[in-house]
Chain A
């Protein structure tokens, strides 16, 4: 329903995506459609800014895990930044915080 996705190609190898709104079963397909084609690039650094995401349910987790696996398989790196406490908790509980790059401070470039 209300989800906006802004894709910015910073360079050949670096893409920054800012997402705003709610990620749930209704909006997840749109998110997947936008993000999945990005993951076919080799050695990509994909930074996703979730600062303006007000709600995300487990469907959203599914999208990001799929993306994470896709990018990793191509030698790239996925970085999620700007997660609220609620979102951070979601990644903690699912154990994903241990294997994914979540909210790390360094060189995110999208503060």
Chain B
């Protein structure tokens, strides 16, 4: 409030000084004044009144017409004043929304939280990073005693808050299907019906679901339109696609999902990802799956969590630290 009391005096001295010197310094004083005035939410029309009273004091002999013309200027600036106040209130609303989204993102993290199971003979690493505040990617592990480790990785088509809300629904649908948990094709079939009934017509979900049998070391899996993962064969050093055909969840109620199998030997790896990994765009174009393989190869002897962390860091750097899409990468490595 101090500023308001003294601003008339200050403005007068700035104008007076400038009329005499017309110096850069004088202009600079004006700039500083405007900064303070904005901070104090002084409206444009108040500044015009200020100018008018200042001039009346400095040059009372000016013709009557000049003072009348100020009325028009005042009228016009009142309109700008409305815009200014609207801007102020939008700014504070924006801040409010930002806070709310932050809270929502935290809630989502809690809702969708999953812990990476620690299983004898299997080294698992996973990373999931949202491009914006809320993540439309999702991964989930369920350990079924000593029998199996189940893994789901999913991506909602669409980004941001709607996608994130959708994911929470999927998570609860999945939690309510315990008896089907073991069979990937049944899991995807059930989820497909849930998504088809409940979700907006242009929102779809891709999902890969795998069940790793610990005794037999067989991965049973099925895919609903999800980016294919890799299988790394340590004997040959080769990577091949974990190919599985299946339609996106939510398009066709009657879709069925074929179950595939992959035998996993010691040293072999299962690599699952979202399309944020393969759709990673750099200055030179997209990164190819071959490039991704070479990154994995660079770190192949590290523990699974370090491999995924390192790959994320490298791809993040390639994109100048600006993710375009949510990024999720999971590696499961058989250790004995």
Partners in one complex: yes
- Against B, the Cβ 8 Å flags (1 = close, 0 = not) of A49-77 are 00000010111011101100110000000
Contact of A95 with B246 in the complex, beta carbons under 8 Å:
yes
Neighbour of B225 across the interface among A66, A69, A86, A93, CB < 8 A: A93
Would you call B7 an interface residue if the criterion is a C-beta within 8 Å of the partner chain's C-beta atoms?
Answer: no
Distance in angstroms from B19 CB to nearest chain A CB is: 49
User: Is the Cβ of A96 less than 8 Å from the Cβ of B247?
Assistant: yes
Q: A59-B159, A93-B227 known; A98 and B247 CB under 8 Å? A: yes
B181-232, CB < 8 A from A: 201-204, 206, 224-228
Residues from 80 to 101 in A contacting B, C-beta threshold 8 Å: 86, 93-96, 98-99
**Shortest distance from the beta carbon of A102 to any chain B beta carbon, whole Å:** 13
**A65/B202 in contact, CB under 8 A:** yes
Tell me if A110 is interfacial: C-beta within 8 Å of chain B: no
Q: Which residues of B contact A32 (CB under 8 A)?
A: 202
Chain A interface, number of residues (Cβ within 8 angstroms) = 21
Asked if B123 is at the interface (CB within 8 A of a chain A CB), the reply is no
B206 touches A94 (CB 8 A): yes
Q: CA–CA, A95 to B203, complex, Å?
A: 15
Q: Are A62 and B204 in contact (CB under 8 A)?
A: yes
CB of B134 within 8 Å of the partner chain: no
Is A40 located at the chain interface by the 8 A CB criterion? no
Determine how close the nearest CB of chain A comes to the CB of B20; give it in whole angstroms.
51
Is the pair B224, A62 in contact by a Cβ cutoff of 8 Å?
A: no
User: What is the chain A residue whose CB lies nearest that of B286?
Assistant: A86
Instruction: Check A25 for interface membership: any CB of B closer than 8 A.
Output: yes
A57 touches B226 (CB 8 A): no
In the assembled complex, B155 has its CB within 8 A of some CB on chain A? yes
CB distance from A21 to the nearest CB of B (A): 15
B71 at the interface (CB under 8 A from A): no
Please measure, in the bound complex, the distance between the C-alpha atom of A86 and the C-alpha atom of B286, giving whole angstroms.
10
Minimum C-beta distance from A80 to chain B (A):
15
- Pair B159/A95 contact, Cβ less than 8 Å: no
How far, in whole Å, are A11 and B281 apart by their CA atoms in the complex?
A: 40
Given the complex, which residues of B lie within 8 Å of A66, measured CB to CB?
201-202
Which residues does chain B contribute within 8 Å of A58, judged by CB atoms?
Answer: 155, 157-158, 206, 275, 279, 325
* CB-defined A-B contacts under 8 Å, sample of 20: A25-B159, A32-B202, A57-B324, A58-B158, A58-B279, A58-B325, A59-B157, A59-B159, A61-B248, A62-B158, A69-B201, A93-B226, A93-B227, A94-B225, A94-B248, A95-B247, A96-B247, A96-B251, A98-B245, A99-B252
Tell me whether chain B's interface is mostly helix, strand or loop, or mixed. loop
CB-CB under 8 A for A70 and B157, given A93-B225, A95-B246: no
Is A99 in contact with B227, judged by CB distance below 8 angstroms? no
In the assembled complex, the Cα of A70 lies from the Cα of B201 at a distance in Å of: 9
A37 to B204, CA, bound (A): 21
B313 to chain A, nearest CB (A): 23
Whole-angstrom distance between the Cβ of B200 and the nearest chain A Cβ: 8
The listed residue (A24, A57, A70, A94) touching B247 by CB distance below 8 A is A94
Q: In the complex the two chains form, is B247's CB within 8 Å of A93's CB?
A: no
Which of A55, A59, A65, A93 contacts B251, CB < 8 Å?
A65
Which A residues between 15 and 64 are near B, CB-CB below 8 angstroms?
24-25, 32, 55, 57-59, 61-63
Q: How far is the CB of B162 from chain A (nearest CB, A)?
A: 11
The docked-state distance in angstroms from the alpha carbon of A104 to that of B214 is 45
Q: With both chains docked as a complex, state the minimum distance between the C-beta of A70 and any C-beta of chain B, in angstroms.
A: 7
Given A94-B225, A96-B225, verify A62-B247 contact (CB < 8 Å): no
The docked-state distance in angstroms from the alpha carbon of A66 to that of B157 is: 12
Least CB distance, A94 to chain B, in whole angstroms: 4
